[in-house]
Structure formats: structure tokens, C-alpha cells
Amino acid sequence: MTWLDEGLAHGPLLGDGAMGTMLLRAGLKPGTSSELWNVERPDAVEAVHRAYVDAGARIITTNTFGGSPIALGRHGLGDRAAELNAAAVSLARRASDGKARVIGDVGPFGGFLEPYGDTTIEELETTLRTQIGALRDAGADGIVVETMVDPVELATAVRVAREHGEWPVFATFAFQRHVDGFRTLMGTTVEQAISAALMAGADAVGANCGTDLGLDDYLRLADALVGCADGRPVIVQPNAGTPHEADGRIVYLATPMDLADWALRAISAGVRILGGCCGTTPDHLRAMARILDALA
Ligand SMILES: [Zn+2]
């Protein structure tokens, strides 16, 4: 039995909220590597983690979304993957203060696999082994493969994470609305996506982020996910409501109360692990934590 099974035996679990949008607020320049802040502005990264732990998050996610050598290579940092991933785990671990589990974040490598692009599965496996191996060596408690649109890429990442044995592996896709329900950018349906994640060996499956989704969409998505997760825990980490553009920037306007209301309904729909993606803040997570506490 893993810590995830043990935790879920007591009720739904709360993850954390956004890292990227919080670091942008702290002064990170758009388009630069947020992973570099794990060594250049460790105080800022640790402060975000600490705020989420204080808000009630019991699973926190490392600042390594773009931490594979291929993704870091776009910033000239490809050879620093091991260092930046290890630093990220240390920061999250210190901020967790023994109150939260630390899972290593693995995002998309940022290109397309053959035949749509020129990256081979072998190249993807190599870059993922470097990142996930570094996260594991640094002491991460599990892995979350997130914001994926290609089920082959997600399944490859889950399989590489599974090579390290029985630590929890979460797998979440970014969906968008479609005439027949929800699909990823690659056209993958919820059923196809979740089936690929489960077959690759994911312990918890679901959705995070997404394109132009409102909180009601995430509830309909939750129903669809629970319907095809084969009894495995479903995780949903919505953005703070529908994105809006203001002064050339994307803003998210859902309030902490909106997210608390959403959390209550998501739990009723069968979601077992909740958190937030773009635009969510410690205030949103604190409001969600109150709902979980009230249900406990
Ligand atoms: Zn997001």
C-alpha cells in the first residue's frame, strides 16, 4: 500500500495550486525558464510551496514542469536538468515541513512526436529518464505527469516513472470542449486518454488546466473521467475559471468561494484528489481545504 492509498482511505486529498502564475507575480519574466529559479530565486519558489502547505495542501508539486533536458534546452539549460530538478525537490521538501508529500512535476516536452514532429520515442524516453531519475534520486514521493495532450507522450512518461517501482504516479490531460464532449488538442477523447494512462500504469488519472474551460465544464469533465477511470482515483485540478484577456494578459477571475463550491460538487461527482491550475492561489486552496475539512 502506498502513501496515496493510505491517504485516500481517510477521504479526498488536496493538492496545491498554480506555480507558474504565482512566480510570474513574483517577477519571473514570461518566456524564461521558471526552473532556473530553483537555484537563482529559491526563496521565491519555496515561499509559494510554503503558502500552499499553510493553506492546507497535502500534496505539493515541484517547480519542474519544463524540467526535462529537451524543454530546458530551449533556454540553453539542457545540461542542468539533474541539478535543477534536484534543487526543486529540496525546496518543496523543506517547505512541506513534514505536512505534505512532494511529487515531481513532469510537463510536456514541448514538441511533437514522430510522425507529427521529429522527436522519436527513444529520445523522449531518454529525456524523461534524466528528469524523473533526478526527481527520484532527490527524494520525490511520486510523479505527476500533467497538462498532456498526446496520450503516447503521457503513456511514455508514466512508463518511465513506473520503472522506479511502487511510488504513486499521477497522470492528467488538458482537455478542451468539443462538439461531442471533451477532447485534447490532439483529438483524443476522455475515454481514450484515460485508458492510455491506466494501461501505462498510472495510479490516479484525470485532468488539469485545459483550454477555455469554466468551472461548470470541469464538473462535466469530472463526470466523464469518473465514468471511465475503472475505479481508480480521479484527480481534477481546474484553472481559476474561464480565462479572460485584460490589458494583453490572461487573467482568471474565479474567487476562492467559487473554487470551494466547485470542490464540494467535484467530490460529490467522485473526484478523489483536488487542486488548482492556472490562476489559483493559496487563498483558493485554503477555501477548498475548508470544504475537505468540513466533510472529514
Ligand atoms: Zn494550468
* C-alpha 62 – ligand 1 centre gap (Å): 14
Task: Give residues with Cβ within 8 angstroms of 110, minimum separation 6.
Answer: 66, 70, 71, 74
- Expressed in angstroms and rounded, the spacing between residue 227 Cα and the centre of ligand 1 is 23
Q: Which pLDDT value is given to residue 296?
A: 84
Spatial CB neighbours of 43, under 8 Å, sequence gap ≥ 6 = none
Which of the residues in the chain have pLDDT under 70?
none
CA 145–ligand 1 middle distance (angstroms) = 13
Strand pairing report for 249-252 and 243-246:
antiparallel
Q: Rounded CA gap, 147 and 110, in Å?
A: 11
Give the count of beta carbons closer than 10 Å to the beta carbon of residue 118: 10
- CB pairs under 8 A, 24+ apart, for 242-248? 242/212, 242/213, 242/214, 243/212, 243/278, 243/279
Q: How far is the CA of 61 from the centre of ligand 1 (A)?
A: 13
State which CATH number among 3.40.50.2300, 3.20.20.330, 3.40.50.150, 3.30.1490.20 fits the domain covering 3-295.
Answer: 3.20.20.330
Distance of CA 111 from the midpoint of ligand 1 (Å): 18
**Rounded-to-integer distance, Cα 240 and Cα 36, Å:** 26
Contacts of 271 (CB under 8 A, 6+ apart): 12, 206, 222, 225, 226, 234, 235, 236
pLDDT tens column, 53-82: 999 999 999 999 999 999 999 999 999 999
In the structure, ligand 1 is a single-atom ion and the residues with CB under 5 Å from it are 209, 277-278
Quote the ligand 1 centre to 1 CA distance (angstroms).
Answer: 30
C-alpha 31 to ligand 1 mean position (Å): 15
Q: Outline where the chain has alpha helix (H).
A: 3-8, 20-25, 37-40, 42-55, 69-73, 81-96, 121-137, 151-162, 190-200, 215-228, 256-268, 282-295
Q: Residue 92 corresponds to which cell in the numbers above?
A: 518543496
What pLDDT sits at residue 179?
93
Dist. CA 17–CA 73, nearest whole Å: 26
Span from the CA of 4 to the centroid of ligand 1 (angstroms): 23
| 138-157 residue pLDDT tens | 999 999 999 999 999 999 99
Q: If you measure from the C-alpha of residue 164 to the centroid of ligand 1, how many angstroms do you get, rounded to a whole number?
A: 27
Q: Please give the distance, rounded to the nearest whole angstrom, from the Cα atom of residue 79 to the centre of ligand 1.
A: 26
pTM for the model? 0.97
Q: How far is the CA of 266 from the centre of ligand 1 (A)?
A: 18
Grid cell listed for 83: 541539478
Residue 248: its pLDDT value, please? Answer: 86
Kindly give the distance from the C-alpha atom of residue 19 to the centroid of ligand 1, in angstroms, as a whole number.
9
Ligand 1 center from residue 279 Cα (angstroms):
8
Q: What per-residue confidence (pLDDT) applies to 249? A: 85
